[in-house]
Amino acid sequence: MNRRDLLRAATGASLAALGAPAILRRRHRLFADSPTDYSARTIGLIRENPVVDMLCQFAFSDFREEESPPRAVRWLQNPRSFTAEDFARFRASGVTALALGHGASSYEGGVQWAAQWNGFIASRSEWFRRVDSADDLRRTAADGRVGIILTTQDAGHFRSVNDVDTFYRLGQRVAQLTYNTQNRLGAGFLEHRDGGLTVFGGEILKRMESVGMAVDLSHCADQTTMDAIDAATKPPVFTHATARGILPDCRRCKTDESIRALAAKGGVVGIAMIRFMVRPAPPVTVEHVVDHVEHIIKIAGAEHVGIGSDLDMAGLANAVPRSGPIAPTSQPNFDRYNAYFAEDGGAHVDGLNHHRRTFDLVEAMVRRRHSDATIRGLLGGNFIRAMAATWA
């Protein structure tokens, strides 16, 4: 059964359960574990279009689980432990392709990571497809599988420009130039001083564009971000970010200047759903996420915004320890995040800590009276366009 048939079946089941009133209201309850119902328009938009999350961690390790190691670890160690029931949650999310965002810090670690994920995808090819091209992003929207994009949140595994070719052959299609601190390519936003894109960083960027690997600048510091955008000849991206124009005290958010510059090169901003990157204090809801979407539409255009939740499929924003809240990391200058957490210790936006979050986001866009074209671009059309230009 393909994706459209699955969602049609879910819609039909909800109609049968709710009867004529649901038909009259054109709102349907799709998920047995949630009392929320969704408009026919929301359901149709997700059912009929590719949905791409450019930073979804698949599954974080949750050490509260009774079994050890957690499922996220077991799935990679033994892909056959990933069951039809597990896949049903991924498929019901409406997401047709997700980017992993691994934190590769060494060549050897990067090779091991690529081998693990290539093995997992090959072992579960009835459910997953490795995304190598923009056509793969479109295919997964029709064939019932979920596409997995091999991406990293650092470029420390590139020892030389030739390593870019190696990892491209292993399936990597996006690399973030830096994570939070300095590497050989440039500065992350937690670094003491931002010296901009290095000579080596410029060489890596050129080779990435040459082989067809997208340049991600999500965690880069401001000068490094602008230098890389200036050097780019293909669309660079912020796979997961929000707007500093709304949240001026969070330096992890991107400036209006950088968003406009990115858009001028054809790039796209994936909106993150991390609470302290959306609003400076609670409450923080899907409506505040849409505020960031609308800000980017206002300053750069509707064709330059997408989804990059920075959550896993369960809605977790971090690995979960056995007990206690998720503590802020001990990274230097971490206060630049202005981080705060939910009562359960999570960094998620309130009400979006689940696999149904794309439905909630689209429903909020529908309430705000955005056009179908704008929502289709947000869901995946904009990132597919940018990736097609880069991966060609």
pLDDT digits (tens, 9 = 90+) for 308-340: 999 999 998 887 776 555 555 678 999 999 999
The pairing of beta strand 214-216 with beta strand 172-176: parallel
From CA 359, how far away is CA 34, in angstroms rounded? 12
* Residue at 190: amino acid letter: L
pLDDT digits (tens, 9 = 90+) for 12-45: 444 333 333 444 358 888 887 888 899 999 999 9
Contacts 24+ apart (CB under 8 A), 255-262: 255/222, 256/299, 257/226, 258/217, 258/222, 258/225, 258/226, 258/229, 259/296, 259/299, 259/300, 259/304, 260/299, 260/300, 261/226, 261/229, 261/230, 262/217, 262/229, 262/236, 262/237, 262/238, 262/300, 262/304
Q: What is the pLDDT of residue 317?
A: 87
Q: What is the pLDDT of residue 11?
A: 44
Q: At what angle do helices 256-264 and 222-231 cross, to 10 degrees?
A: 10
Q: What is the pLDDT of residue 45?
A: 97
From CA 315, how far away is CA 353, in angstroms rounded? 4
3-state helix, strand, coil in the chain (%, to 5): 45, 15, 45
- Residue 310 structure tokens: 């920075």
Instruction: State how far Cα 102 lies from the chain centre.
Output: 12
Q: What is the pLDDT of residue 2?
A: 55
Cut 0.85: pTM above it: yes
Low-confidence ranges of the chain (pLDDT < 50): 10-24
Identify whether the C-beta of residue 104 lies closer than 8 Å to the C-beta of residue 154.
Answer: yes
Q: What is the pLDDT of residue 328?
A: 54
Contacts 24+ apart (CB under 8 A), 191-196: 191/221, 191/333, 192/332, 192/333, 194/221, 194/222, 194/223, 194/224, 195/223, 195/224, 196/223, 196/224, 196/226, 196/227
Identify the CA nearest to 348 among candidates 359, 336, 340: 340
Phi, psi of 226 (to 5 degrees): -70, -35
Q: What is the pLDDT of residue 3?
A: 55
From CA 305, how far away is CA 325, in angstroms rounded? 32
